[in-house]
A and B are shown apart, each in its own frame.
Chain A
Amino acid sequence: MSARWWLLVGATASGWVALALAAIGGAGESWWAVAAGAVSLGAWNRRLSWLSVAVPVGVVLLLLYSGSVVAGAACGLLVLFHVVLVDLAEDSYGASADGAVRALRPLVPGLAAAVVAAVAGGLSVVWARGVDAVTPVVVAAPLVLLVAAMVALGSETRREFWLWLSRR
């Protein structure tokens, strides 16, 4: 499988998880999630990659009338991943996995800041409202998994990656 294939699989997965999360946590009609997810598959076509905008629009519509703050932050993070991976996939025709990882490296600080902000913001609001302890754990689990995936992605490459990260 090419690097582009893996990037698009990651983009699709993160987009669909975001839509599912918004459909569960929000008060909108669930079929919006299905429709937006189906339309976002256009990103697999090189000329139709702009259709990936269906994911953020679908999530916003699902979260428009209700939904928890934590679910909103988690959806925002997943949509961010979706947008980044689609953008990387656009330029990765014929590129090796190593080339895709190299292109991903400069984005790590921004992604890390987004993850930290989403987790910290979401959890603080939840705890401030006095919600039971199970909900934040359930919501935070995918975010932790995403951070772990990023770490695994970095460790697969060379040791210079960590040196480079430390220099920044």
Chain B
Amino acid sequence: MAAGLSPRATGVRGGGPDGRRTTTTATPTWRPSPLTRRLMTMVVLGIGLGVVSQNPTLVAFALPGLLAMAVWLRGRRPERVELTVELDTPRTFEHEARRLAVRSTATPHGGAVHLILRPESPVHVTGDRVGVSPLPEARAHWRLAPTLWGYWSTGTVIARTRSATRAWVSETSLEGPRLTVYPPASATADAPPPPHLRRRLGPHVSRAPGAGVEFAGTREYLPGDSVRRVNWAQSSRADRWMVNEFAQERMADVVVLIDSVRDVGPVGQTTVDRSVRGATNVVRSYLSVADRVGVVAFGSALRWLTPTTGNRHFYRVVETLLQARQARTYVDPSLDRLPLAVLPTGALVVCFSPMLDDLVVEAIRDLRERAHPVVVVDVLTLDERPAPRDELAVRLWRLERQALSASLRRIGIRVVPYADTVHGTLGWLASVRSAGGRP
């Protein structure tokens, strides 16, 4: 029975300054233990049937249990139970284990405390879920490995306190600290450069000549050129002064848009799960090469982050992505409500979407009309072979999807299937850019 704190037992409840620890102090509410209930059954059965059947043997049978119970019910009981649940760190990535330490003290000493953990479903617990310290001060440790990104509770910890003679039992429960689980992010060292680059110094080699380190070609010397840039070998062959040209190195703006209007698919592999994982990879890759990355969560609530750089920004972006499932509103999302700075001119927009809602498709078209290079990553897949009677319907549905993709391609939007890596999703960008085409 998962009894919580009873009204009478409510004591002090608090948490650590960083949300890693929760603690409570309660005055226990006692009830007969399973041992007492069993003995009571034995005594009532023996004495009751003995009196009814006028059989002294059954009364003699019940006598030891009655005496033992009379002694044990007077046993000492703790007056206060303190329960502390502490997590080593409140943030983790999927499948990365964290340590949950639980400590419970019953005062005055004399009872036994037993610790039980009831975790939330996407949190996998390593080790026994029951603490093994039948001592006045019980300690238990569990390793929690969350299997899905999001905000999760570490579960409910129950301290089952018994009196010294085990005749009474009380339960104090405490909700564990909140665990923030990030989707796994794998940074790609050479993120594919977007088609349009900003006029700011950055990591990507542009086609325009300028002050970089990447060799771009040679040209005739012009007044003002540095002597250090003279290409001596070619100058001697051409019999005139030739200088080396270098490519400019510029930064890119990337905006990741995830569509959480519809969420379909098996748990852990839904379209929103895939969108968040894919978006995290893209964000991590471009931030690792010092590009500016922004995010727009296009769901039942519209959330955004203005593009900027830095590793700290990564965690802000992921926090915004994690809220994709939480926020709910009845107002339809619209890109018109976004501040101008969220979508800088020419920024590459990567949309992770199952394209199941007309509102989202219209928003994607709207982005293209604003002259952004747009890439749509289709996170909806149907790998299973349909049943024979559904084959026609699935075929029609696929044709509709192909028609939708074709209509998007006609206005310059590239639709690519979802892949686990950034190169799998956006690797084609490098070839498009070198050929000078559009995405």
Contacts and interface: CB of A to CB of B under 8 A. Distances in A.
Contacts of A26: 57
Contacts of A134: none
B62 A76 contact: yes
A121 B63 contact: yes
B60 A121 contact: yes
B247 interface: no
A19 interface: no
B305 to A, nearest CB: 48
A103 B68 contact: no
Interface in B45-83: 45-46, 49, 53, 55-65, 67-72, 75
A93 B130 contact: yes
Contacts of A118: 60, 63-64
Contacts of A64: 49, 53, 55, 58
A110 interface: yes
Nearest to B127: A94
A91 interface: yes
Contacts of B65: 76, 79-80, 83, 114
B104 to A, nearest CB: 14
Interface string A117-158: 110011001000000000000000000000000000000000
Contact residues of A: prevailing secondary structure: helix
A73 interface: yes
A76 B46 contact: yes
A62 to B, nearest CB: 10
Contact residues of B: prevailing secondary structure: helix
Contact of B39 (A69, A83, A94): A83
Contacts of A66: 55, 57
A79 B63 contact: no
Contacts of B134: 91-92, 95, 99, 102-103
A117 B128 contact: no
Chain A, interface residues (CB within 8 Å), range? 35 or more
Contacts of A41: none
Nearest to A105: B164
Contact of B63 (A56, A106, A117): A117
A29 B65 CA distance: 25
A79 B42 contact: yes
B71 A52 contact: no
B35 interface: yes
B34 interface: yes
Contacts of B363: none
A106 B64 CA distance: 17
Nearest to A118: B64
A106 B166 contact: yes
Given A83-B39, A109-B71, A117 B164 contact: no
Contact of A73 (B33, B61, B132, B166): B61
**Residue picked from A72, A90, A109, A115, most chain B C-beta under 10 Å:** A72
Contact of B61 (A50, A72, A103, A110): A72
A57 to B, nearest CB: 7
Contact of B57 (A69, A84, A92, A114): A69
Contacts of A92: 134
B147 interface: no
Given A56-B41, A91-B114, A110-B165, A80 B130 contact: no
A76 B53 CA distance: 18
A8 B45 CA distance: 24
A99 B135 contact: yes
A161 B46 CA distance: 34
Interface in A65-101: 65-73, 75-77, 79-80, 83-84, 87-88, 90-95, 99
Interface string A36-74: 000000000000001011001101100111111111110
A131 B177 CA distance: 68
B395 interface: no
Nearest to A73: B60
Interface string B401-439: 000000000000000000000000000000000000000
Given A79-B42, A99-B134, A106-B166, A122 B53 contact: no
A163 interface: no
Contacts of A73: 60-61, 63-64
A80 B49 CA distance: 18
A72 B60 contact: yes
A139 B400 CA distance: 88
Contacts of A93: 128, 130, 132
Given A63-B58, A99-B134, A107-B165, A117 B64 contact: yes
A88 B162 CA distance: 12
A166 B391 CA distance: 83
B132 A80 contact: no
Contacts of A69: 56-57, 60
A66 B60 CA distance: 12
A111 interface: yes
A133 to B, nearest CB: 20
12 contacts: A26-B57, A63-B58, A72-B57, A76-B64, A80-B42, A83-B39, A87-B34, A91-B112, A91-B162, A92-B134, A114-B64, A118-B64
A-B CB proximity, top 8 nearest: A94-B132, A72-B57, A114-B64, A72-B60, A110-B71, A110-B68, A76-B61, A87-B35
Interface of A: 26, 50, 52-53, 56-57, 59-60, 63-73, 75-77, 79-80, 83-84, 87-88, 90-95, 99, 102-103, 106-107, 109-111, 113-115, 117-118, 121-122, 125
